[in-house]
Chains A and B, each alone.
Chain A
Amino acid sequence: EPEVTQTPSHQVTQMGQEVILRCVPISNHLYFYWYRQILGQKVEFLVSFYNNEISEKSEIFDDQFSVERPDGSNFTLKIRSTKLEDSAMYFCASRDPRGTIYEQYFGPGTRLTVT
């Protein structure tokens, strides 16, 4: 069964460094999302991406964040200058655009630790 994959599973970085989190969505899906979950808190929406552009972003997704689909398979989240409060699990999700299918399928997540 097709699944969303994410790399790396765990990323440790120093404050102020740039990180790139990578995702490979399900191949026939066209909507892509990033969410994050800070330890002990709820899963929060960051950004949605469709047709090679951001379709919606949350207040969390400020100028330090960017997303890109550099080729036909990868979907990346970049944080330019990480802060301690960026430490969280980051989940990529994708959705099939056909009909009324609303379900989003999530990857296993990348644990980002900023020290």
Chain B
Amino acid sequence: DQQVKQNSPSLSVQEGRISILNCDYTNSMFDYFLWYKKYPAEGPTFLISISSIKDKNEDGRFTVFLNKSAKHLSLHIVPSQPGDSAVYFCAASEGATNKLIFGTGTLLAVQP
């Protein structure tokens, strides 16, 4: 039951260019979406989030876009830096306890 999907297991981008990571979801009841970054042997680190009532949220180099009709969100990183190389997880918040439903992750490699 994959309610949150990240269809690209990996992405390679040149330093300075834009990285676009995509995420699709199936449950229209999700009310909040989050992106996490994860390095090996570390816990997920919160990056940026967006409420379902918005279509864009920006924080420095990171922007998240939400298209509710398509049940699709994306994370844009501009400009990409080698330190951005990590696994990026999309997550949706669900229910009264706001448990997180995670996607499978996308491994981003930013080439110098």
Number of A-B contacts (CB under 8 A): 64
**Which of A43, A55, A56, A102 is in CB contact (< 8 Å) with B44?**
A43
Identify the stretch in B21-29, B45-53, B61-69 within 8 Å (CB) of chain A at 4 or more residues.
Answer: B45-53
A103-B101 in contact given A91-B43, A91-B44 (Cβ < 8 Å): no
**Residues on B close to A: CB < 8 A?**
32, 34, 36, 41-46, 49, 51, 89, 91, 93, 95-105
B6 to chain A, nearest CB (A): 9
**Residues on A close to B: CB < 8 A?**
4, 6, 31, 33, 35, 41-45, 48, 50, 55-56, 91, 93, 95, 100, 102-109, 111
A44-B97 in contact given A4-B43, A102-B32 (Cβ < 8 Å): no
Shortest beta-carbon contacts, A-B, top 10? A106-B43, A48-B97, A43-B102, A56-B97, A102-B32, A45-B99, A55-B97, A106-B44, A108-B43, A42-B104
A110 to chain B, nearest CB (A): 10
Seed contacts A42-B89, A42-B102, A109-B41; 9 additional CB < 8 Å A-B pairs: A45-B100, A48-B97, A91-B44, A93-B100, A102-B98, A103-B34, A103-B49, A109-B43, A111-B41
**Which of A33, A45, A50, A91 is in CB contact (< 8 Å) with B101?**
A45
